[in-house]
Structure formats: structure tokens, C-alpha cells
Chains A and B, each alone.
Chain A
């Protein structure tokens, strides 16, 4: 992979800068070098420490193209950064004069046409190179696999403040989790029901805006299995920062199995739920109409698709599209007792559960592991 080389490149100049500082040893030299040197240290540690980041571990074919372009730009920019900052800092220190100023003025140089031409054309050539490389790679990125029969179309619909995903013509949808088969061309059709959102899985691809009244299409293929972070990247109101989702990339077989379970209503985790907890909770759930928005295993007729499918809800570390931590029954109870207070702007209403009712429902939900 291309991620190693640039790191080495960036450490070289850093070492050189430190050596210069030590050799010259002048106080002002050290002081002046402190700023760019610390910048380099930070830049050097930036990417490698974030093991998950798309720049070192892109999780899709197209994220890999973007990552390569990023490193290419980084190398160019670092070279230019060192040359220009070096020139500025060197001339600042080299030509510093302490009071009293010399009587004579320094040579009054008004310019130099040859130099002007040089520093107009050299950056222009660098930028043309960068432009050419980028345009070439953009061609690969923007080719939508519309004619490929193996393509899976996924509809992505944003609304304040959650995402809904629809899978091809299966009729299956999900809200909190985006399920992806590994190694298959994916075509995302992205839109919004209200304001502008932006669909972004940092490890998989750049973001694309979800515009109401328009459909944007992007494509990528998941490279390997894993769980990834998905977010809304365009300010969409009070719940913007909590409009999150989880991406589960699984082998094709597992994906097909999941789709089949969704279609037949036999969701795997908690499918066999029932027993005492379910019997106690069922009347409350029916009375509050939870099933109108949620699929709830073990509760007949609970097949709504507005909210997330609750199978396995007790095993999730975060609920409410990632907005709320879920570290046990207390968190779940706090959430269902008054959702708008926990996640401002959520469409899940406060159903006015009493404390006892909430405890009963949570006791049941905790069985959905």
C-alpha cells in the first residue's frame, strides 16, 4: 500500500529541521523553528495514530483511490510547505537588524522579471500535474455500475434525524444499520425527505449530499468485513451531530440470509423471544402503538419501518441512531421514557410511559439480545 512511503518522506525534513536548529543553536533560530517543527511533528503523527482512518485503511475500492490522491497531494504540499516556509523563515532571520539601524539603506531592488516568470510557471506546472492525475482518477470514481447485473441498488433517504436504507427490489429496509455485502458493486441512490443531509461513511467513500427533490448516485464496493461509522455531514438542525448510523459489511451469504430473515419476519436475534417478559410487556406495547414504527420480535403485528428494527437492541452499544449510549437497562429506560429530552429533534414521541410500565418494557427489550 502507498501509505508507508509518505511517512518516511515527512520525517526526513523534520529531522533536518531539528539538526539545523541544534547546529545553529541561536535562541531566535530555535524560537522561530519551534512553530513549523511542531507542525511537522503533529502532521507526522496525524495519520498513523488513527488506525481506522480512511487515509491508512480505506475499506472500499473508491476510498482507496481517494486515499491515494490524498497522499499524493500531501507529498506535494509538504514539499511546497517546507520550501516556502523555509524561505520565509530563513530570510526573516538572516536579514534581521537590531537597533540602531545601519545608516545606509539596503540595496533598493525593485524586482526581477526572470524570477517572476519562474515563480509563476513552476507552481503552474505542479498544479497542472496534480490536475491531470486527479482528472484521471475521477474517471474511475464516477463510473456507475448501472449495467452490471450483480449491482445491488441501495436507496438512502435522510430525514431529521435518521437514515433509512432500502435494499434493491427486496422491499427490505433498515434504519439504524446499513447492511452491505462485501465485494459486490453497490449503487447508492441518495435523497432526503426534508432538509439537506449528507451521507458519509468516512472509511468507504467521500460524502454525497442528500437533497430533497433530487437523487444523487454514488458507487463503491466494500473491500472487507467490518463495522464502520456512518454520519450526516451537512448541518440539518438540532439533531445533526447525532444523525449517525452503523455500517455492517458482511459476506454475501450472510447478507442474503439477513435479507431473507427480514422478508419472512423471522429476525434472527430474539426471534424466539417470548416468555414471561414478553407477555407482560405486550399489552403496554400494543397500547402505546410501538409496533407502528418498529419491528419487534415476539410481538405480533409489530412491523413498522419508520424506526429501527428492535431485534438485538439489547446488544447494541448505542441506540437512537448512535445518539444515545446503551450500557444497560437504565440507559434504555431513560430513552423510552422521554426520547425528545434525550435526543432533541427525534421523531420518536414521548408516549407517556409510567415508571412501572417503562421498567416492564425495558425488562422485555433486554431479552432481545
Chain B
């Protein structure tokens, strides 16, 4: 469909033009006090992206250290702090809050045709817990040492660490509380505030993903808080939960931690699965292949995700029968994930693919995530995991899932929705440069890690003997990492320039399907002046079809009375 043809939203102006903007505060005061889900969403996205840059800087320092094993720039204590903060910031302050807090906050109410979240002030509260927690975690560097026991913070090591470890524990507990509040808010919003006609099976798949993610967060996060509080108590109150000398058990923490943190892997990926399910439809001009299969496989992952945690613990000395059980569950959860991949491929099949930035990054996500999924199978095979656990193979695996997966989809989502949020188009050619440098840098950095892991390079080591022969590959990876870092500068430049001086995007520059594209870009404070009744999972396409099938004037009544749409093709 050519863009020159009847822009769909002209069928009936969805928003009152030049509506009076009622607001008592302006400027900074407004941002500090706003309960508006869109402003909160922007604050989530901007602040967590700043944490992404901080975490990325820490990653480059890690790579620098590993390229210079015998002339290390940092001493071992500092190195341990740097990689601990890298992982903690990336996971707790970027991947998790960006997807559900940032994209979810901005998009979910728009996509379901609501005016705001169910509890706008609780929404603001859950955002305002994030920056203080982040500062608390990082401030360890100024109190005689940040947390240095890895993002997993296993006791007894984490009970001996510097004071920054206590700050880390408190920070993560605060972030968990923010997650719990946020997920409760999303559950109530999605289950109760959908516009008339939007049944569960007409919800955008991104909303399905946020719904499932919220459920996981609500159930899993308290286990993390409990485990962390016990470590805090051991450190400061003289308890012995994890101290064998006082009758404690060091493995108790690991069960509590992974009961949260394995489901958390799905918290880190499901929202981005949702992003992909949206972008693939729009940029292939087709509906999702197997809507129900995609939606229900998301839910299946959400439930099975609670039964696989001990696959992180195959080497701690569990009974063989437990190892076999968790191997089986881990292999089972690969099936719904595979179903998604095949349905996404089915969505591409026979479509009219426009290689715009969101689709490029979505394809990057698909191809890289497949590698991450397959390397997970090696670790699921218990004896092979005896070898690969705690090596660079696992580091490669987690980055193919969380960077090759989640971060590629983060950028697919950003490029997809940036015109809605800023009202302006970005440069496609700069975005393409960003994509190609990122995917090359990413594979240079992380693919060789599979090989290092198989060769026996342990993770979290500050140095290694030259005789191991690990050096050339590590230097290659460090070059890749700096290329990867450079690609982020291109993105930042593109985003900032387009926000200030980009071409005006209009309501719906992509000919998209879902309700957020019905309103203006950026949307007004009240989101929508009026909404059509929802007849399918692609209400905007329904409007376009109605406009094409007859004359534009009849389109809206036809839509509202439920007359059949013109068949495709």
C-alpha cells in the first residue's frame, strides 16, 4: 500500500486538534511530579539507557583487562568490582526496567486504548525507586570498594566483601520492590482497562508479553528479596543462614537466588519477544503467523520458567535425579521458544519485507537469538555442563541471549517507536550503519568466547597465564568490543539529532497495526479523543481497509457496524 493512499487516520480525526493542555507545572517540576505513563515511560527509557552506557563502559574496562593479562590496568579487587557492576547494572538497571518499565509503560496503555495506567501514582513511585537504587549500587566505588562477588553474589564470598556489597544488596532489594509494584500495576491495567472490543485474543502480542512478564515478576521477585535479605542479615545482624560454621548451608542461597533469577531471564527476554512480534507484522505487511501459538507459548514459557532454576547448579553436587529432572524441564522449555522462532519465520514468509531499521534489528535478533538458544542446549546436557559451566562458553551464551537477543530487540523497539515518542523520523542510513557495526562488533566480541570456554578459560578471572594461549583470541574480542561500543555512539547521535531536527513523522509513518499509531506523535496527555470499536488484533489495518473498500466517509460507520472488511490481495 503506497503511503500516498488515504492515510487511514484521516478517515476520522482520532484526536481533537490543539486540545488545551491542562498542567499546573512546567519544565523540571512537571517531570518530577508527573503521573503520566508516557512521561514516566520516557524517564524510564532515558535513565535506564544512561545505565546501559555506564554498564557498557564497565564492559570495555573488562575487555581492556583481558587483553592485557600480564600488564593488567586494574588490580584484582578492582577488576572483580568492575565486572560485578557491569552485569548488575546491565541486568537490574537496564534490560529489566527498560523493557517492562520503559517500553511497557509508554506503549501498553496506548496499545490497549487506555488513558493511563491503573495506578498512575504507584507507577511514578516505581520509577522513582530506580535512580536512587542505581546511585546506591554505584556509590560502592566511593565507600572503599563496590560489590565484588559477581552479579550472582554467592555467599560466603558475598558475606566477606567490602561495604559496597551491602549497598548492592539494598539497591537490588529496592529495584525488586519497584518491579513488584510495576508488575501489579501492569496486571491490573491489562486485565481491566482494555478498550471495548479488545478481547484477550485481540490484544497486541507485546501486551501479551508484558502481561506474562508481570506475572513472572510478581511471583519470582519475593524469592530474590528473601535470599538477599538473609545475606544482609548474615553480614550485619550476626545470623548464620549461609555460614556452615554456624549451621547454615551455602546452597540455600543459590536455590533462592535462581528461583528468581532463572525466571528473570524470561523477564529479560519476553518483553522483547513482544517487540519482535509487533515489528515483524508491520514490516512484512502480514499478520503474525499463529497468533495463539505465539501468545500461548509466551504463557507456557512463563510457567515452565519456574521449573528450571537448578540448571544453573549442575556442578554444586545435587543428587543425580534432581539433575535429570532439571535437564528435562530445560529441554522442554526449548519447545515453546522454538515455536516462536518458527512462527516468526512464518510471518516473514511471503511478506513484503521493508528493510527499515526496526526490521533490520528484528532480523538481527532472530539470527543471533537462535545461536544463544542452541548454545543453551549444550549447557542443558548435564555432563557437558560439568565442563562448560563457569567458563567463557557460558559468558558467550548469556550474551547471545541477552545482547544478541534482548539488546537487538531493544533497538528494534526504539527505532520502531521513536517516531511515536519524539514525533520525528530518524536517519535510516545512520541506523543501518549502527546495525552493521553492532552485529559485526557483537559477533567479534562474543562468538570466540565459545571457543575459549571449550578450551577451558574460566569466567571471572582477572588474569590468565600466557601459556594457556588465550591471549590472541582475547585481543580480537577486545577489538570487537570497542567496535560495538562505537556503534552505540552512532545510535546516540542519530537519536538526539532526530529528536531535535528530524522530519515530522505524522501519526503513523509505518502503516502499523496497533492503536498507539492512531493518535498523534507524540500523543496528547489524554492519549485518545475517541477510539473505534476493536474487531481484530489489527485495528489500524481494519481502518485502512475500510477506507480503501469504499469511500473514506463510509469507512468509520462500516467499521463500527462490523461490516466485513475487503479481503486482502
Instruction: Show the binding face of A for B, using Cβ within 8 Å.
Output: 35-36, 38-39, 42-43, 46-47, 50, 52-55, 65-66, 69-70, 73-74, 76-77, 80-81, 84-85, 87-89, 91-92, 95-97, 99-112, 115-116, 119-120, 123-124, 127-128, 130-131, 134-135, 137-138, 141-142, 194-196, 198, 200, 202-203, 205-209, 211-214, 216, 229, 231-242, 244, 317-318, 322, 325, 344-345
| CA of A88 to CA of B339, assembled, Å | 14
| CA of A137 to CA of B290, assembled, Å | 38
Residue numbers in B under 8 Å from A55 (CB-CB): 454
- The answer to whether A69 and B381 touch (CB under 8 A), given A50-B469, A105-B352, is yes
Chain B's interface size range is 35 or more
Which residues in window 273-316 of B have CB below 8 A to A? 284-287, 289-293, 315-316
Of all chain A residues, the one with the shortest Cβ separation from B331 is A127
Question: Judging by beta carbons under 8 Å apart, are B331 and A138 in contact?
Answer: no
For the complex formed, measure the closest distance between the CB of A349 and the CB atoms of chain B, giving whole angstroms: 18
Q: Which of A81, A103, A111, A128 is within 8 Å of B2, CB to CB?
A: A103
| CA of A237 to CA of B154, assembled, Å | 11
- The answer to whether A46 and B450 touch (CB under 8 A), given A95-B352, A105-B1, is yes
Residue numbers in A under 8 Å from B387 (CB-CB): 54, 66, 70, 202, 206-207
**22 examples of A-B residue contacts, CB within 8 angstroms:** A35-B367, A39-B443, A39-B447, A46-B454, A73-B381, A84-B345, A95-B352, A97-B353, A109-B286, A111-B290, A111-B292, A115-B346, A120-B339, A127-B331, A134-B327, A198-B390, A206-B385, A209-B315, A235-B459, A238-B80, A240-B80, A318-B465
Total contacts A-B at CB 8 Å: 293
- The answer to whether A207 and B569 touch (CB under 8 A), given A66-B383, A123-B334, is no
Instruction: Show the binding face of B for A, using Cβ within 8 Å.
Output: 1-2, 5, 75-77, 80, 148-150, 154, 156-157, 160, 244-245, 248-251, 284-287, 289-293, 315-317, 320, 323-324, 327-328, 331-332, 334-335, 338-339, 341-343, 345-346, 348-355, 363, 366-367, 370-371, 374-375, 377-378, 381-387, 389-391, 439-440, 443, 447-448, 450-451, 454-456, 458-465, 467-469, 568-569
Instruction: Identify 11 new A-B residue pairs, CB closer than 8 A, beyond the known A55-B454, A138-B320, A212-B250.
Output: A96-B353, A101-B1, A106-B286, A107-B569, A123-B334, A130-B381, A142-B320, A213-B244, A234-B154, A235-B80, A325-B465
Interface core residue of B5, B76, B291, B447 (most chain A CB under 10 Å)? B76
Of all chain B residues, the one with the shortest Cβ separation from A31 is B436
Question: Judging by beta carbons under 8 Å apart, are A88 and B366 in contact?
Answer: yes
Question: Judging by beta carbons under 8 Å apart, are A138 and B374 in contact?
Answer: no
For the complex formed, measure the closest distance between the CB of A100 and the CB atoms of chain B, giving whole angstroms: 6
Residue numbers in A under 8 Å from B2 (CB-CB): 100-101, 103
Residue numbers in A under 8 Å from B455 (CB-CB): 50, 52-53, 202
For the complex formed, measure the closest distance between the CB of A65 and the CB atoms of chain B, giving whole angstroms: 7
- The answer to whether A110 and B289 touch (CB under 8 A), given A196-B154, A207-B315, is yes
| CA of A127 to CA of B245, assembled, Å | 43
- The answer to whether A109 and B350 touch (CB under 8 A), given A142-B320, A238-B77, is yes
Q: Which of B248, B317, B338, B384 is within 8 Å of A69, CB to CB?
A: B384
Residue numbers in B under 8 Å from A88 (CB-CB): 345, 348, 363, 366-367, 370
For the complex formed, measure the closest distance between the CB of A127 and the CB atoms of chain B, giving whole angstroms: 4
For the complex formed, measure the closest distance between the CB of B346 and the CB atoms of chain A, giving whole angstroms: 7
| CA of A55 to CA of B383, assembled, Å | 13
Question: Judging by beta carbons under 8 Å apart, are A134 and B381 in contact?
Answer: yes
- The answer to whether A77 and B156 touch (CB under 8 A), given A84-B370, A209-B317, is no
Question: Judging by beta carbons under 8 Å apart, are A208 and B383 in contact?
Answer: no
For the complex formed, measure the closest distance between the CB of A330 and the CB atoms of chain B, giving whole angstroms: 15
Residue numbers in B under 8 Å from A344 (CB-CB): 75-77
